[in-house]
Amino acid sequence: MKELVLHLGIPKTGSSALQVFLARNHAALLARGVDYLRIGEFMLGVEGRISAGNGAYLARTMLSPDSPAHLPDTERYRAEFREAVARSTARIGIVSSELFIDARREALEALIAELGEDGITVRALYYIRQHDQFLTSSYMQQVKRHACTESPESYARIAYRQHPYLRYHSFYRHLCGIFGADNILCRVYEGALTKGDGLFRDVLGALSIEAEGLAFAVPDINTGLTPKDVAIMLLINRHQPRMQFSDLVVENAVNTGAMMAGIAHHILPRWLIAEVEAYFHEENQAMARDYFRREQLFASPPYTGPVDSITPESLSPAAISMSALSFEDVISFFGGLLVRYDQRLATLEQRITEMNSAILALRVEHLSPETAGS
C-alpha cells in the first residue's frame, strides 16, 4: 500500500451512503487497486445500514478518554487496523468514519508517523456543506433519532457556534498542520450532488478511481424528513418514542418519495440564515481563496427559509389545524406508518408459522414408529 485515505466526514455530508457504496463495491474496487478495509463496521455497510464506517473502532480509540464514545481497548483495534493494512495488496486503502473529526491531534499524528515508516502516505478527504443545510440536517437527525422537541430555530441558534469544523478555513489549517497541505482533499457537498450518482462519483473522481462497472444503486441512507413530517414528529417526541418508531417514519418518507437524501431543506427562518452566514463570512472567504483559489466558497447563495420558524407554540392542536398541515397530510403520515407496521407483522406471522411447522415436524418425527422403538 502506498497511500491511505482517511475519510473524515464531516457529519451530514452523506457519509453513511458513501460507506454503503464502498462496502458493497469492495471486490470491484479491490480489482482497481483500492481497498476499503474490512474492519470496524464494514458489514453494516454491506447490509445497507447506518454505521460509523469501517474506521469506527479505530477512530474511537483516538477520541479523548473523557468522550462517551472512547474505546479503552486501543491496542486491539489498532492491531486490527495494522493487520488489515499489512494484508492488503492494494495501492490505495480507504478508512472512513465521521468520528475521526474529533480525534486527538497527537493520535492522528502518531498514526501518520507509524504508516510513514512503512512508506505509506496518509491523506485526509472530507466534504463541507452550506451552513444552513448542515444545521437543518443535523436538527432533523435529533428529531428522528433522539426525540428532540426543540424548534429548529432554538436548536440552530446554539448549534452553529458549537462545532469547530464548521469554521471551514480554521479547520482546514488545523488539518494542514497534521497531514500537510498537499495531503488535504476538501470537496463541496452541494457541488457533488449536481453530478450523476452525485457523491459517489465525486469521491471516485477525487481519488482518480475508474467508475465503470461499479454498482451505484444504493438505497437512501439516513434520509431527511419533510417540514410537515418534522412538525408531526415534534409532537410525537413529547411521548418519547423508541428509535425504531422514527426509523419507520423515515422508511415511510423514502417509500412514498416524500423526501430524498441530499435535497435542500427549508425550515430555518430567513433572519437566522442571514445571521449564520454573517458569522462564517470571513472563514468562508478565506477557505475559498486559500484552498479553492476562487472568490466564493459555495456556487449558490444560502437557501431562503420561511419567514418564521416552527415553534412549540405553532405545534398546538389549534395552531396545527390552521397551519399548512392538512387532514390528508396527517392520514398520509399515520397511514403510512400503519402499513409499515402491518408489513412487519405479516413478516413476523410468517416466521412464527414456519417455526410452528418446524416444531410440529420434529414432534411427528420423534413420535413416528421408527423412532418410537429405538
pLDDT tens for the 374 residues of the chain, in order: 999 999 999 999 999 999 999 999 999 999 999 999 999 999 999 988 888 999 999 999 999 999 999 998 889 999 999 999 999 999 999 999 999 999 999 999 999 999 999 999 999 999 999 999 999 889 988 888 888 888 888 899 999 999 999 999 999 999 999 999 999 999 999 888 876 678 999 999 999 999 988 998 887 666 667 777 787 788 888 888 887 777 777 667 666 655 445 556 778 888 899 999 999 999 999 999 999 999 999 987 776 666 555 554 554 444 444 345 677 777 777 777 787 778 888 888 999 998 988 888 888 777 666 555 55
| Residues 13/53, Cβ–Cβ less than 8 Å | no
User: Within a 13 Å sphere around the CA of 72, how many CA atoms are in the beta-carbon half?
Assistant: 2
Q: Domain count of the chain?
A: 2
Among 206, 237, 265, identify where a domain stops. 206
- Distance separating alpha carbons of residues 258 and 271, to the nearest angstrom: 27
Domain presence at residue 47: yes
Q: What is the pLDDT of residue 321?
A: 41
pTM of the shown model: 0.82
| Residues 220/258, Cβ–Cβ less than 8 Å | no
Handedness of CA 354, 355, 356, 359 (dihedral sign): positive
What CATH code is carried by the domain that includes residue 70? 3.40.50
- Distance separating alpha carbons of residues 336 and 339, to the nearest angstrom: 5
Domain presence at residue 272: no
CB atoms closer than 10 angstroms to residue 85: 20
Domain presence at residue 236: no
Q: What is the pLDDT of residue 345?
A: 86
Domain presence at residue 53: yes
Domain presence at residue 111: yes
- Distance separating alpha carbons of residues 10 and 76, to the nearest angstrom: 26
Among 189, 206, 223, identify where a domain stops. 206
Of 45, 52, 39, nearest in space to 79 by CA? 39
SS (H, E, C) the chain: CCEEEEEEECCCCCHHHHHHHHHHCHHHHHCCCEEECCCCCHHHHHCCCCCCCCCHHHHHHCCCCCCCCCCCCHHHHHHHHHHHHHHCCCCEEEEECHHHHHCCHHHHHHHHHHHHHCCCEEEEEEEECCHHHHHHHHHHHHHHHCCCCCCHHHHHHHHCCCCHHHCHHHHHHHHHHHHCHHHEEEEEHHHHHCCCCHHHHHHHHHCCCCCCCCCCCCCCCCCCCCHHHHHHHHHHHHHCCCHHHHHHHHHHHHHCCCCCCCCCCCCCCHHHHHHHHHHHHHHHHHHHHHCCCCCCCCCCCCCCCCCCCCCCHHHCHHHHHHCCCCHHHHHHHHHHHHHHHHHHHHHHHHHHHHHHHHHHHHHHHHHCHHHHCC
CB atoms closer than 10 angstroms to residue 89: 8
- Distance separating alpha carbons of residues 46 and 249, to the nearest angstrom: 23
Q: What is the pLDDT of residue 314?
A: 52
Domain presence at residue 301: no
Domain presence at residue 66: yes
- Distance separating alpha carbons of residues 56 and 100, to the nearest angstrom: 8
Domain presence at residue 246: no
Query: Residue 96 forms beta bridges with which residues?
Result: 7
Q: Containing domain of residue 348, as a range? A: 344-372
- Distance separating alpha carbons of residues 83 and 1, to the nearest angstrom: 12
Q: What is the pLDDT of residue 309?
A: 55
CB atoms closer than 10 angstroms to residue 60: 23
Q: Which three cell numbers stand for residue 321?
A: 389545524
Among 155, 187, 206, identify where a domain stops. 206
Q: Residue 69 phi/psi, 5° resolution?
A: -90, -5
